[in-house]
Structure 1
Amino acid sequence: MHLNETRLPNGLTIISDHMPHVETVALGVWVATGARHEAASETGISHFIEHMAFKGTARRKAREIVEEIEEVGGDLNAATSLDTTAFYARLLKSDLPVALEILADIMLNPTYPGEELERERNVILQEIAATRDSPEEIVLDLLQDAAYPRQPLGRPILGTARTVGRFSAEDMHRFREARYHAGGMVLSAAGNIDHAALVRHAEALFGGLRGGKRVVPKPAKYAGGVRLSSRRFEQAHVVMGYQSPSFREPDFYAAQVFSGLFGGGMSSRLFQEVREKRGLCYAIYSSAWGLGDTGMFNIHAATGHDTMSTLIDVVTAEFDKAATTLPEAGEVRRAKAQLKAGLLMSLESPVARAEQMARQMLALGRLMPTAELIEKVDAVDAEQVRRLAERVVAGSKLSFALAGAGKAGRSIVDNVEQRAVRH
């Protein structure tokens, strides 16, 4: 990796990774503002602003934005997460100035024209409606509400029909102007790129952007609890979660290894016990994610209504086993190998590199060399994994969400709540 870092006088951080063997560049601007920075009345506004960035600026109409980037064979996109909003592009190395100029325009000069705003409002309302037809989306939203009730982390990133239905252009300008400033932005690029040229173009386009400190959200308060959707689908979806380390904690890497051996691949405990031995479901997997102040370890599976209780019993037993007994050396080794391979494979993509660097800079204030990441994974041993499992299961209240089981869901949830009280 050929990493470079520059900070402009206004506070904008510019980072790049030179990959001389490729002919493309991936670049974007990551803003340290996402769904968790919204008040209850603002739920979904970050996502709405992301959509509206492509709908017209002081210089370009909506169609001109996409035609200009596609004229050089590139593509333009954006994404909203809990803690960031990103605007990014991918194109040939010679066309870097084109992408950078468009990115600056859509971020700094949006106009939110009335007709476009109403059309995009309807698009987002349809997007929200689509999630209501998906048991997987329903159960994940319920889990977040159970884990982080009455706070931004527990609310849907897309917003609700009520909040999205009343946002105005003035609301968006006000929110963006309060949070979109140079001190809370990172321009990240990877590919066949010259860092000095990137800085020169970026300073011309973003140098006039005001500085300022990042908006720090209120600390998350994990609670745990049980949520149920009474709707019935062909399959019932369940997610079981516990609070786990934030990315700032040393145990974050043990959580990643535990997730791999517990439910990360076909050799994992859950896949072997739940699917291969018992045939209870088609897919079951675990995940461990972390923010700066909290994290969660989740198990997600879907199965028939009549086998859901058995599946939950098996997963619970496997959790208890993981918390009380050392994992085998072989499964720890395989989990670490999967984790490292996934990391190194992703770094072959300029898009993945640009995103990883931006997230590291926003999260840690620095770039973490690949060798350091590998070293942290390699340092995890069997006892650390067991202690992590014990911490997650014994030291955290269960968050549980069920969707798709219809009327049968009530008895399942009652059993889970009774077991949690006894535990």
Structure 2
Amino acid sequence: MGVEVSRLSNGLTVATENMPSVETVALGVWVKSGARNERDDEHGMAHLLEHMAFKGTKRRSAFEIASEIENVGGEINAATSVETTSFYARVLRDDVPLAVDILADILQNSEFDPQELEREQHVILQEIGAAHDTPDDIVFDRFTETAFRNQTLGRSILGTPETVKSFTSKQVHDFITRQYGADRMVVVAAGDVRHDEFVREVERRLGSFRPNADSALPQHAQYIGGDFRENRDLMDAQILLGFEGRAYHVRDFYASQVLSMILGGGMSSRLFQEVREKRGLCYSVYAFHWGFSDTGVFGVHAATGQSDIAELVPVIIDELSKAGDKINQDELDRARAQYRAGLIMSAESSSSRASQIARQLLLFGRPIAKEELMERLGALTIVRLTDLSARLFSGKPTLTAIGPVSTLAPYEGVLNLLPGDRMAPRKLAV
């Protein structure tokens, strides 16, 4: 039957996919508002809201929220990303009305009690401290901060100790009132679910939710790039080299995803084979591509010892440069198979499937059939991928490094190795 979509009178989108082999239902509310939607004095607010979601409503205490869902064997949680926030649950079919009621209660009746707020602020301060003490986490925050300098897209989702400590209950109420409207929300369920029944439940609980959010959408992001490095007394160094990527909507998005797999998507990828297996220059290396609504980033992350840094970065750049000259058909076929298998495997999980449908509805306004995705993948050619590689890796890079990185070449030295200077890998002078 595929995905069924309805829209309530207030504009709220409701979608379901029945999965006959599944006996549970994954459901949730996804909101097109995340860390990127915060004002300067709200940095970290979206993440704090996620923490406060289960701390009590006008109808339920924090314990009652947890116990009611767990009394029926269910699970409930929330998550914050750069562009979205989600509140979701997984229950047996007969308990779907309860899950919808709790999620609706959280969204409409949360009290954000000042004492609970103070406790969660303390928890988040610990989380910020833990992230700072974890180099392989914080290097990604520094990467986005450098790539999108002085923009909300580049800011850490967690916020800063100063901003988090400053938040009041009124600010949290104001944020959700301003950012959350039916026009920016979707409610999705996947699993043992009947569409008409689910729509009726959502209509009953959220049909009167305010139709429109009362805030402007975030400004268009501008990739800047540049250099950040923090010399720390650690056993290993975390290094991230990246470039401007592609947004979800553009033609090259899926090509960028496949290219990241060819270069660093598994043990057979170019970077793993050349950098780790043949040269032993690091213990971890992989490539990734993150798409956002209006831009993206393509990056390579590596973890290595101090003695190998000088050789590691030129070898990585050389592998990126080679992709602009030649990609083999077997590499394309293997990456396409990996991507296809990932889509099919995720479709067998009701939670993954609900999340995927929600993202598609928020980004494209419609669910995208698996066959359409397969067609897009099938249309990729070697010429298109090599052309994309040449364009991606000739742009301004973002380089971030944390650890014993004193031997890492200056940023200008890295720039000199990028295409079209296709010289052999060599150690850079430091």
State the Cα distance separating 1:365 from its structure 2 match.
0.7
5+ unaligned residues in a row in structure 2: which ranges? 419-430
Count how many residue pairs are aligned between Structure 1 and Structure 2: 417
Please report the RMSD computed on the Cα atoms of aligned residues, expressed in angstroms.
Answer: 1.2
Residues 94-134 of structure 1: per-residue CA shift (max 9 Å, x gap): 11001110000111111011211111111111011100110
Structure 2 Cα separation of the partners of residues 381 and 306 of structure 1:
39
Q: Residue in 2 aligned with 1:417?
A: 412
Q: Within 2, Cα distance between the matches of 1:419 and 1:68?
A: 56
Say whether the 8 Å CA contact 1:33–1:215 is kept in structure 2: no
Indicate the SS of the match to 2:294: coil
Alignment-mate amino acid for residue 132 of structure 1 = H
Residue of structure 2 equivalent to 1:338: 338
Matches within 5 A, 1:156-235: 156-212=156-212, 215-235=216-236
Identity of aligned residues (%): 46
SS in 1 for 2:140: helix
Within 5 Å, give how 1:88-103 maps onto structure 2: 88-103=88-103
- In structure 1, give the amino acid aligned to 2:358: A
**Cα separation, 2, equivalents of 1:112 and 1:103:** 15
Aligned-pair CA distance for 1:330: 0.6
In the aligned structure 2, how far is the partner of 1:413 from the partner of 1:349? 45
Which residues of 2 match residues 387-398 of structure 1 at below 5 A?
387-394=387-394, 396-398=395-397
Matched with 1:358 is 358
- Paired with 1:389 and 1:103, the residues of 2 have a C-alpha distance of 44
Give deviations 1:69-99, integer Å, cap 9, x for gaps: 0000000000000000000000111110011
Q: CA deviation at 1:411?
A: 4.3
Alpha-carbon shift at residue 61 of structure 1 (Å): 0.7
Q: TM-score, normalised by structure 1?
A: 0.97
What are the within-5 Å matches in structure 2 for residues 70-85 of structure 1? 70-85=70-85
Amino acid at match of 2:293: G
Give unpaired runs (5+ residues) of structure 1.
none
Mapped contact 2:317–2:417 kept (Cα < 8 A): no
- Say whether residues 1:142 and 2:142 are aligned partners: yes
Q: Does 1:256 align with 2:247?
A: no
- Aligned to 1:201, the other structure's residue is in SS state helix
Say whether 1:273 aligns with 2:274: yes
- Tell whether the 8 Å contact from 2:248 to 2:293 is kept in structure 1 after alignment: yes
Shift of 1:413: 4.7
CA distance in 1, matches of 2:409, 2:356: 38
Which stretch of structure 1 is more off in the superposition, 353-362 or 306-315? 306-315
* Cα contact 2:309–2:407 (8 A) shared by 1: no
TM-score, normalised to structure 2, is 0.95
Distance in 1 between residues matched to 2:53 and 2:106, nearest whole Å: 5
For 2:253, the aligned partner's letter is F
The answer to whether 1:292 aligns with 2:288 is no
Q: Give the conservation status (yes or no) of the 8 Å contact 1:27–1:88.
A: yes
Cα pair 2:180 2:212 within 8 Å, conserved: no
Cα distance in 2 for partners of 1:374, 1:417 equals 41
Q: Which amino acid aligns with 1:258?
A: L
d(CA) in 2 for partners of 1:81, 1:234: 31
- Alpha-carbon shift at residue 252 of structure 1 (Å): 0.6
Q: CA deviation at 1:2?
A: 2.1
Matches within 5 A, 1:40-79: 40-79=40-79
Residue 422 of structure 1 and its aligned partner are, at CA, apart by: 7.1
Q: Is the 8 A contact 1:17 1:190 kept in 2?
A: yes
Q: Partner amino acid for 2:267?
A: M
Tell me, yes or no, if the aligned pair for 1:232 and 1:403 is still in contact at 8 Å.
no
The offset of 1:418, in angstroms, is 2.9
Q: SS state of the match for residue 248, structure 1?
A: coil
CA distance in 1, matches of 2:156, 2:330: 39
Q: 1:31-73: CA deviations, max 9, x gaps?
A: 0100111122211000001110100101111111000000000
3-state DSSP of counterpart to 1:125 = helix
Please give the alpha-carbon distance, in whole angstroms, between the structure 2 residues aligned to 1:171 and 1:33: 16
| Conserved 8 A contact 2:35-2:44 | yes
Moved over 4 A (4+): none
Q: 1:401 maps to what in 2?
A: 400
Q: Tell me how far apart the structure 2 counterparts of residues 309 and 343 of structure 1 sit (CA, whole Å).
A: 38
8 Å Cα contact 1:31/1:84 also seen in 2: yes
Shift of 1:410: 3.9
Distance 2:182 2:417 in 1: 51
Amino acid corresponding to residue 174 of structure 2 in structure 1: R
Aligned counterparts of 1:56 and 1:10: Cα–Cα separation in 2? 26
Once the two structures are TM-superposed, the CA of residue 326 in structure 1 deviates from its matched residue by: 2.1
